[in-house]
Structure 1
Amino acid sequence: MTEELAFRRLDLTVRRRIDGAFQGDHPGLTVGTGSDAEELVRYQPGHDVRRIDWNASARAGEPYVWLTRAEHALETWVLVDRTPSMAFGTTTREKADVATWVAAAVGLLTRGGGDRVGVGLVGRDGVRWQAPGPGRIAARRMLRAPDHDRDGVSATDLAAALTRLAAQAPRRGLRVIVSDLLDPTGEPSGPFGWEGPLRKLAARHDVIVVETVDPRELELPDVGDVLLTDPESGAQREVSTSDRRIRDAYAAGAAAHREATAAAVRSAGADHLVLRTDDDLARVLTRFVHRRHRTPTRPARRTR
């Protein structure tokens, strides 16, 4: 994969403390085996004598040791929207193709010691889970996944899929949501049904929402009369794109929807990346990853 070369020197920064059962490269929530000093305590039998702070011990008249912050392997889950609304694209790719590429890229970017990546595919018949595995293997699985659904009403919407993800993978880690964020009812403004579940997910995990967009979802070209079809409900409507008022109203509604979704993602506490089907995907994702590296780490809640 050419993306592997582009991402070789990149990784996805995780800005929250994580849970884990295995040692890795990412800061955990509790003290334990690690390399960064976290807490100075009075020496007790069983403590590592190599971590005695001799200056503090001399001042106190008794031995004190540094306890370190545990470092764990990162568990990442990618929730990929493959419902019929994603089967749309007017460039060289569809939104579903972008979603597949993002899921594979996350696997390539998550390659620390012991790190694992799991995938949830949201389709017309519900969510199909791929068990966590090494990032490179997860990327290959995603690229070989069956084709996405192209029509029909979905049994599971994004809100339900987010709720299921929280139950499927409760251990703190990184969660990446890839979707067009379109409401099944066609509601252009919030509150959206997925806002509550996303907020709950972001309260526990480091969450990135990748929103996929096609240029024709932002504005209509002047191409005369066209027949528009909803891929999920099958509803159709004939529209005269030669009418400037219709084109202006469409563009205004699309812009309002973009603003509403961006505000909802921000208020939930998640990071937001918009990818268009005509974007240079590797370049846009690389800029996003560099921006996360420059963003200050979020303070973690201390647990005893």
Structure 2
Amino acid sequence: MPRIADGSRTAPLPRIAGEASASASSVAVDDETMALRVVPGRRAEAGRASGPVGASGGTSTSAAGTVTPGGRAARRKAAKRRGGRRTTAVPPVERDPQRPLTRVEARRQARLRKPGPATLASRAVGELFITTGVLMLLFVTYQLWWTNVRAHAQAGSATHRLQDDWASGRRSPGVFEPGQGFAILHIPKLDVVAPIAEGISNKRVLDKGMVGHYGEAPLKTAMPQDKTGNFGLAAHRNTHGEPFRYINRLTPGDAVVVETQDTYFVYEVSSSLPVTSPSNISVLDPVPPGSGFTRPGRYLTLTTCTPEFTSKYRLIVWGKMVQERPRGKGKPDALIE
């Protein structure tokens, strides 16, 4: 370093202010902290740093002490936000219910109330399911309840009409028209009393709660008064009066009585066939195979559907005549309680 001669020795030249400040700064720096610190000799510089920065960038401090990042454009936007827009949420103004809606408000509310396509589709599907369920319930009610009510009324009326005709002395011909009643069937064990009509038509006979006689070819069977033959009968097991619903409960020895205008014909159950095909018409033969009968006689065959509530198979019950009693002698023992 150059020195100035003062006679005996030379004095060092003073350092420039920057070098002095740098030296002082190197002495005062505390390397053990990362917080803010004041460097001796740089107070003015620190003050200048906290002031506003030029348009090129940096931060600025407002009069209120709020630090605004960015340059002049950012400060202008911040000032505009502070001055032109509220910083707190404004509660919505409730509309006066007495004030009529404007056209815009009315259209907006109408759009909000109008359901969308998905809502309409879901409603349509729901209504379809409800309608289908109601129809199915009505159909089941009709089949299981109303058909029985109507058939019982029709069968009861036919029974009373037969009894009135017999009491008045009006004799019926030996040959009966399809659908015409000519006898009354009694099954005491099952508490069944039902009129017997000619034919096995659903519409004219069976659906009216009556028991049908196989009297037409190719399924023509004998009548009770015939000296030999098989008297074949059919009836519903479920719905439409269901007179044969519980014939599966009949056991050998149970009585079945056919009441005509002049005679009581008493049959005794001998055997049954729980399941057979609907096409097995041999069960109506004069000597039915599988019945246990081995020679011609006076037999009775009851036929109905099985299992219950289906018509897939047929249930057969056979009986043989054990008594022929004129009506003038009174009821047979099977009908006396």
TM range, normalised to the smaller chain? under 0.3
The normalised TM-score by structure 2 is 0.19
The normalised TM-score by structure 1 is 0.21
Q: Which has the larger radius of gyration?
A: 2
Determine which structure has greater relative contact order: mean sequence separation of CA pairs < 8 Å that are 6+ residues apart, divided by chain length.
1
